[in-house]
Amino acid sequence: MARPWLTDAQFMAKVAAGDVKRINVCIGCNEACLDHTFSGQTATCMLNPVAAYETSRDVVPAEKSKTIAVVGGGPAGCHAALTLSQRGHKVTLYEASDKLGGQFNLSKLIPGKEEFQSAIDYWTNSIEADQNITLKLNTKATAEALASGFDEVVVATGCLPRAKSNKTIDGIEGRDNVLSYSEALLHPERVGKRVAVIGAGGIGFDMAEFMVASKHAEISSHFAKGDPTAFAKKWGIDLTVTTPGGSVEPQSTPPAREVMLFQRSKGKVGAGLGATTGWIHRLELRHGKVKEIAGATYKSFDGKKLVFEVDGKEQSAEVDTIILCTGQESNDALFKSIPEELKAHKIGGAEFTARLDAKLAILQAHELCRKL
C-alpha cells in the first residue's frame, strides 16, 4: 500500500466512508515515486504532486472566489479543475470529446497500462460530484464564448501527433499506410503484418508492444480481469509454487506482427525509458521478437519499401505499415485566439511538446491553480 497512499492520502478514510469511487488510485507508472527514488529525488506521485510536498504545494482557500474556465479534459485540465474547486472557485470545464482523460484514453490501450483507466474514473467521478464544477462534454470552447463571464481561462488543450511530412521520410505524405501513433491505436485494423515504428521513445516502445501483442493486449487483459494464467505462462511463473524459486520456463505467445523499431540517435535503443520500468518494456520487445535499429537515417518510402541508412550503409525493408512516433505539436490555436484583455494561462501539452509528460503537465496545472 505504499504507492497507493502517495496517490491518495485519504485512501482509508474514503473506504471507511464508502466513497471508493473518488479514491485517486495508483496506476503503477512508477514515474514520480520509484523512478525518483532511484535517481536521488523526492518520492512523490504523478497523479498527486502534493505527496511529500504537503507544506510547499498545499492548496488553501482563495481570498476571493473567481469564475474560471478550464478548456481540455485531459490530465492537466482535470487536475486544474479539481484544484481550482478546492480553492473555492467556480469552474466550467470544457471537453470537446464525449469523455474525460485525454491522452490517457490512448495509454490505457497499451498492454500493461490498463490501470490508466482508474485515473480517468477518478477524475470523472470527482468532477461529476463536485458542485463547484460544471462539466461540458462534447463542447468545443471558442474565444468568443470565453470572452464573457469568466475572470480567467486555463487552456489545457494538449497536443497532437506531428503531421505526416516528407521532411521526416520522403514519400510518406498522402499514403494511407503511414499512420500516426493515435491512428494506429484507435484503428489497429488498418495496420498490416509488417510494421516499421519510427521513433523509439516511450511512445515508440508502447506502439511496438501494442503491435506484437496477440489480439491487442489479450495477455494483459486476462491478468486485469483476475485470470493470471496467461500472464504467468508468459513470464515463467509457477502458480503451483512447486518449483524452486517459483519459476518455470516461459511460454511466449507468437507475436501478432513483425515489428521493426527505428531510432535516429546512436546508442542504446530506449535509453530514456523509466529507471524501474524500462527493463520490462525491453523484455516485452524481446519476447515479441522486435528488431531494434539505432542510428538510422530515413531516406524514402514508396508505399512498400522503406529505405534507410545505418553507419553510412543503405538498407531497405519491406513493410506494410509505417507508424510515426516522431513527436507532437501543441494544440494551442484557441490560446492564440483569446484576446489579451482576458487572463489566459496555457499548461500541459498545449505549452510544451518535447515529449508526452503527464507528470509535468499535472504538476504545472497544480502549481498554477493553487495560486489563482
Nearest to 235 by CA among 252, 222, 223, 220: 252
CB atoms < 10 A from the CB of 272, how many?
12
Is position 222 within any domain?
A: no
What is the Cα–Cα distance from 149 to 115, expressed in whole angstroms?
38
pLDDT at 216: 47
Identify each DSSP E strand in 245-327 by its residue range. 258-262, 291-293, 296-301, 305-310, 313-318, 321-324
pLDDT at 215: 54
Is position 111 within any domain?
A: yes
Residues 93 and 156 in one domain: yes
Residues 318 and 332 in one domain: no
Residues 19 and 84 in one domain: no
The region that residue 260 occupies, defined by phi over 0 for left and psi between -120 and 50 for alpha, beta otherwise, is beta
In this prediction the pTM is 0.93
Residues 139 and 114 in one domain: yes
Residues 81 and 143 in one domain: yes
pLDDT at 214: 60
Residue 352 · residue 67 · CB < 8 Å = no
Residues 258 and 320 in one domain: yes
pLDDT at 111: 87
Print the domain residue range for 28.
1-58
What is the Cα–Cα distance from 341 to 363, expressed in whole angstroms?
26
Task: Tell me how many domains the chain contains.
Answer: 3
pLDDT at 227: 65
Residues 189 and 128 in one domain: no
Residues 188 and 107 in one domain: no
Rounded to 5°, the CA angle 211-215-220 comes to 85
Element (H, E) at 136: strand 133-136
Residues 181 and 298 in one domain: yes
The strand order across the sheet containing 90-94 reads 133-136, 90-94, 67-71, 152-155, 343-346
CATH number at residue 65: 3.40.50.720
Is position 248 within any domain?
A: no
Radius of gyration of the chain (CA): 22
End of a domain among 36, 58, 80?
Answer: 58
Is position 318 within any domain?
A: yes
- Spans of the chain below 70 pLDDT: 214-227
Cell of 220: 494483459
Query: Where would I find the H helices in the chain?
Result: 2-7, 11-16, 34-38, 75-86, 104-107, 116-129, 143-146, 181-186, 202-212, 218-224, 229-235, 278-287, 333-337, 358-369
CATH number at residue 271: 3.50.50.60
Residue 317 · residue 123 · CB < 8 Å = no
What are residue 67's DSSP bridge partners?
A: 90
Q: Which residues contact 2 (CB under 8 A, 6 or more apart)?
A: none
Cell of 180: 500516426
> How many CA atoms are closer than 13 Å to the CA of 23, on its beta-carbon side?
20
What is the Cα–Cα distance from 317 to 297, expressed in whole angstroms?
13
Residues 172 and 311 in one domain: yes
